[in-house]
Structure 1
Amino acid sequence: MDVFWSTVYPVEVYADYHMLYKEPRPLIHDLVPSRGPDNPHDFFACPAFHLHMANTFVVRSIVDANVGIHLEGFSALDDKSSLTAQLFSYMHPTRKGFRTILFDHRMLFFCAKPLVLATYPAFMHRSEVQTKLHYVPAAYDISKWLRPLQGTFEVSEDTRSISIREEDPLYYIKFETTEKVRLRRFQMVPELHAITHGCVHYKLFRQRSTLERVYAAFTGSHLDRRVLKLITENLLD
């Protein structure tokens, strides 16, 4: 099954970010090099483990960021982070004792067939992303909605800094299918960006919409067919 992916930024800065993004690697391929000596309880040989890890990919940071966390915002803790500290912003908090952070890392996925994409914390890896932040997961059908994934995290109110390194795992994406998934990259074009923008802003006009309602709005406007046409015209592989 082909799953199409790209990054999505406004046209004027898209070229600045496009080359920074790499195709996500399968999680199992990422873990196998750390496999220890043979033992009878090796979970890498467990079929239940493989079933859970099937079609699961690792999304990684494209930048270094050493950032101070303050009530009023974020600050660079070294010269190298003077730009990347600007990638952090606050969202309205959900839970008491936590702040909700948006790390501006944008990936976009689409499929011609019904396919649920689910995201998970990067629980098989360990960096400050895992020890200081709490990833906020999500799931939706990427054949019926064109919304970018971003790094949404909770952080406890007493956390004062976060250090993220290029290639640190941010979260996992799992495609809920038994078919083998092939990722195919496409070039973002202004019309696709505009459709994505419309999906992001839809709930400003239709607040508290269910997934079923947004799917109906998207497919009812025939945007699924238009998006697929634009993607196939701009494939990079």
Structure 2
Amino acid sequence: MELSVRFENTRDLPASSGPVTVGWFLNDPKGGVIYYPPERFRGAEKNKLHAKSASRCPAVINLESRYFVIRCPYDLNLEFIRDKDGKPGLRNLNGDASGIRAKKLGEKLHITPEREWRYPDIPTIQLSLPYIFISDEPVYASQLSPFMHFTKNPMPGTIFGGRFPINVWPRPLMWAFEWHDTTQPLKINRGDPLFYINFETMPQDRGVVVTEAEVTPELKDYVEYISGAVNYVNQTFSLFEQAEAARPKTLVTPKKRRE
């Protein structure tokens, strides 16, 4: 099947069968042990005894099987502040008890400039993550709030993600949060669901297998070729076809397990 950033470009081609292989890797392996591998969504122990239980419903099973969970790599307990000049900032409420050093947290987590907020007085914070997803077939990845996980203390805002083709635009993921109620702290424990990833395939009923991928020289060069484009141009989607032209034939090489 040809690669394409638009599903409609594949409609006249023979339909593929079997699951689509999606690869993932960390673009910065330093400290990689703290990052949880992506995992397929599975609810808590469910009632499957009754024939009419929702946990036995094919529609429910089909939907849940298409979401993959990314978990928070460290504890976050943050307060939104403004300094004496009114500049927005963050305070780590865990203080000296924090598991992550302030310097390292500052490298990973930041508030976007106030003029870039989508809504006035609703701060946007971003957490940089090293996860990159790739595919050798047309696949779109969508980043979503972990809406199927219950939390006793809801977060004081909303998560917003995005949708992009991982077969031509492999990029490190960013967790973005809009802080609607800044009087409340933002608290996420290590291991809590941070967001979901959903993969769209063609045809839509194909399954998805997610596997850790080798970072081959060709893959590394391609990621570097497109990295940081958002810092230089607006509307990076206009670059997809140019990136596709430079794409190596194969991105996904499943990682070999050590004996």
Q: TM-score, normalised by structure 1?
A: 0.80
Aligned with 1:196 (options 214, 223, 240): 223
| Aligned-partner residue type, residue 240 of structure 2 | Y
Asked if the contact 2:145–2:196 (Cα under 8 Å) also holds between the matched residues in 1, the reply is yes
Structure 2 unmatched ranges of 5 or more:
1-19, 83-87
Asked if the contact 2:155–2:186 (Cα under 8 Å) also holds between the matched residues in 1, the reply is no
- Whole-angstrom CA distance in 2 between matches of 1:194 and 1:133: 37
CA drift at 1:40 = 6.1
Alignment of 1:22 onto 2:49: no
Q: Residues 38-117 of structure 1: matches in 2 within 5 Å? A: 38-39=49-50, 42-71=53-82, 72-78=88-94, 79=96, 80=98, 81-83=100-102, 85-86=105-106, 87-91=108-112, 92-117=116-141
Spell out, residue by residue over 1:48-76, the C-alpha distance to the aligned partner (whole angstroms, 9 max, x if none). Answer: 22232232111101111222222332222
Q: Which has the higher helix share?
A: 1
Spell out, residue by residue over 1:152-205, the C-alpha distance to the aligned partner (whole angstroms, 9 max, x if none). Answer: 111115244222111110111111133222222135478755643543422333
Q: CA 1:40–1:184 in 2, change beyond 3 Å: closer, same or farther?
A: closer
Alignment of 1:171 onto 2:158: no
Alignment: residue pair count = 222
Aligned with 1:118 (options 134, 142, 159): 142
- Whole-angstrom CA distance in 2 between matches of 1:77 and 1:190: 42
Alignment of 1:8 onto 2:27: yes
| Aligned-partner residue type, residue 92 of structure 2 | A
- Whole-angstrom CA distance in 1 between matches of 2:180 and 2:60: 31
Q: CA 1:43–1:137 in 2, change beyond 3 Å: closer, same or farther?
A: farther
| Aligned-partner residue type, residue 24 of structure 1 | P
Asked if the contact 2:109–2:128 (Cα under 8 Å) also holds between the matched residues in 1, the reply is yes
Q: CA 1:183–1:8 in 2, change beyond 3 Å: closer, same or farther?
A: same
Q: CA 1:15–1:158 in 2, change beyond 3 Å: closer, same or farther?
A: closer
In structure 2, the residue matched to 1:217 is 242
Structure 1 unmatched ranges of 5 or more:
none
Q: CA 1:96–1:157 in 2, change beyond 3 Å: closer, same or farther?
A: farther
CA drift at 1:98 = 1.2
CA drift at 1:144 = 1.0
In structure 2, the residue matched to 1:205 is 232
In structure 1, the residue matched to 2:45 is 34
| Aligned-partner residue type, residue 109 of structure 2 | F
Greater Cα shift, 158-167 or 128-137 = 128-137
Greater Cα shift, 116-125 or 198-207 = 198-207
